[in-house]
Amino acid sequence: MGNATSSAISKEILEDLKLTTKFTEQEISQWYENFQKQCPSGRISPGEFEEIYARFFPDSDPKSYARHVFRSFDTNDDGTLDFKEYIIALHMTSTGRTTRKLEWAFSLFDVDKNGYITKAEVKEICQALFKLIPKEDLSKLPDDENTPDKRANKLWSCFEKKDNDRLAEGEFVTGVIENENAMRLIHYEPIKH
């Protein structure tokens, strides 16, 4: 670990994050300072991550979604996120439609981490997504996607798979890129008022 008390981020991690994200050196350093304050241990627990997420969604219940997001970024399965995993999480969940984002979305939907998505897993994520949506926005959703089940069905139909089929990562990424609907259905964007 080296000198754990130093609050400066290592050059190596900084360079790496500048390459993998669109964030500037200044932004990354600022986040690192905040991270040090909030997480002196240098690790974020699922509970802490839920609290961070809750700040972004004050009008809804993001707990179950945050837990899925946490799982998808805990790449070494140690039950915590380090600073690098955390920044990549921030980057991936902010806007944009790159292949990397879709690869992340795939790991979000792959609840049991077996390398395939099933329709049941899609339903589970749709249920978590619905808890992110504030009440007043729910009423504005189209009829064919205003419940978690309807949304899951609509999303699944984009991939032209039978209900008991499995979806591999390549098929997922291609299916979403080729389908505006799928792109919109895999995440929740607050309605601009």
**Correct CATH for 99-188 of 1.10.540.10, 2.40.160.60, 3.30.930.10, 1.10.238.10:** 1.10.238.10
pLDDT surpasses 80 at 6:
no
Distances in Å between the Cα of 38 and the Cα atoms of 23, 35, 113 are: 20, 5, 29
- Any idea where the domains of the chain sit in the sequence? 13-95, 99-188
pTM comes to 0.81
pLDDT digits (tens, 9 = 90+) for 31-41: 898 888 888 88
pLDDT digits (tens, 9 = 90+) for 130-171: 999 988 899 999 999 999 999 999 999 999 999 999 999 999
Q: What percent of the chain has pLDDT over 70?
A: 92
CB hemisphere CA count around 71 (13 angstroms): 16
pLDDT digits (tens, 9 = 90+) for 128-141: 999 999 888 999 99
The residues, ordered by sequence, that sit 6+ positions from 182 with a Cβ below 8 Å of its Cβ are 155, 158, 159, 175, 176
pLDDT surpasses 60 at 5:
no
Measured between alpha carbons, how far is 161 from 52 in angstroms, rounded to an integer? 36
pLDDT digits (tens, 9 = 90+) for 90-119: 777 765 557 888 988 999 999 999 999 999
Instruction: Tell me which of 82 and 8 has the higher pLDDT.
Output: 82
- Tell me which residue has tokens 């219940």: 61
Report, at the CATH architecture level, how domain 13-95 is classified.
Orthogonal Bundle (1.10)
Phi, psi of 48 (to 5 degrees): -65, -40
Answer for the pair 116, 109: CB distance below 8 angstroms, yes or no: no
Domains 13-95 and 99-188 alike in fold? yes
